[in-house]
């Protein structure tokens, strides 16, 4: 197996999936879904976080699939799980009381305060696009210890104000906004994209650029963002995916 990262070719989705996997710590409990969030969690479990507890909305706790599941109802999750509970128990006992450390979410739109839209694009009554909807995302965003959002960065997705708030991030950015709504968790702590990583400013809660993938410029990140993207004083450069990371991720999808 080659370890030459300079010659490794990868897609934008592989880049953000690897970046997301790297931020997951061993021993945490992670609520995951299908797509890049699920791929990132499974990749982390194989490479550096063997004790990462994967929890799926279908009720599987401690799943250890040997391939990426096709859906949250894929039988491989139940077959490899430490336990399987009813969906109602998953949310009533595990999610709502704050027993999940990290929730992974995607988005159709996200704003500067990490509010997420997966409901409609345009006016709610006469939308341009009707999206899949909330699912369990509002509960995850409200109650998990922290939320990590994964999506491709573009002005269409990174908007000044979402058309519909499906899942609350940091609301208006005002101090105590989440607590005033009775939300338990800390909300979104990272937005991981194909260009870099955004994190909320400790004072304003507005997401700012804190890291860029190798070869990406600040100007590119700003052009792909629908708000006036601020940049951290110390901007990290993220190393590209290694051959081991890419080989492991592709093997999961095989």
Out of 57, 79, 89, 245, which one is annotated catalytic? Answer: 57
Gap between the Cα atoms of 103 and 238, Å rounded: 22
Q: How far apart are CA 203 and CA 225, in angstroms?
A: 21
Nearest to 52 by CA among 148, 151, 187: 148
Task: For residues 49 and 46, give the distance between their C-alpha atoms in angstroms, rounded to a whole number.
Answer: 7
Q: CB atoms < 10 A from the CB of 1, how many?
A: 7
Under 8 Å between Cβ of 220 and 154: no
Range 71-78 contact pairs with CB under 8 angstroms and sequence separation of 24 or more: 71/34, 72/33, 72/34
DSSP letter for 167, please: B
- 25 φ/ψ angles, rounded to the nearest 5 degrees: -95, 150
Contact 23, 148 (CB under 8 A): yes
| 254: its two tokens | 């095989």
Identify the three-state secondary structure at position 207: strand
Active site residue 57: yes
CA angle, corner 245, sides to 32 and 250, nearest 5?
Answer: 75
In angstroms, rounded to a whole number, what is the distance separating the alpha carbons of residues 23 and 14?
Answer: 15
Catalytic residues: 57
């Amino acid at each position: 197996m080659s370890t030459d990262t300079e010659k490794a070719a990868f897609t934008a989705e592989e880049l953000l999936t690897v970046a997301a996997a790297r931020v997951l710590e061993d021993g945490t409990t992670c609520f995951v879904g299908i797509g890049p969030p699920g791929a990132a969690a499974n990749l982390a479990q194989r490479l550096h976080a063997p004790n990462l507890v994967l929890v799926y909305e279908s009720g599987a706790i401690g799943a250890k699939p040997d391939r990426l599941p096709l859906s949250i109802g894929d039988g491989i999750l139940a077959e490899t799980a430490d336990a399987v509970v009813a969906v109602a128990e998953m949310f009533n006992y595990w999610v709502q009381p704050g027993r999940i450390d990290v929730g992974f979410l995607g988005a159709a739109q996200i704003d500067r305060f990490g509010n997420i839209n997966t409901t409609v694009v345009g006016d709610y009554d006469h939308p341009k696009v009707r999206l899949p909807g909330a699912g369990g995302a509002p509960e995850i965003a409200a109650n998990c210890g922290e939320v990590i959002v994964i999506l491709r960065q573009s002005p269409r997705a990174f908007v000044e104000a979402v058309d519909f708030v499906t899942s609350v991030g940091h609301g208006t950015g005002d101090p105590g906004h989440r607590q005033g709504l009775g939300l338990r968790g800390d909300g979104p702590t990272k937005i991981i994209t194909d260009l870099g990583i955004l994190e909320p400013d400790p004072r304003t809660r507005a997401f700012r650029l804190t890291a860029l993938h190798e070869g990406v410029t600040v100007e590119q990140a700003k052009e792909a963002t629908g708000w006036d993207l601020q940049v951290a004083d110390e901007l990290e450069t993220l190393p590209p995916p290694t051959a081991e990371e890419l080989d492991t991720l592709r093997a999961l999808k095989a």
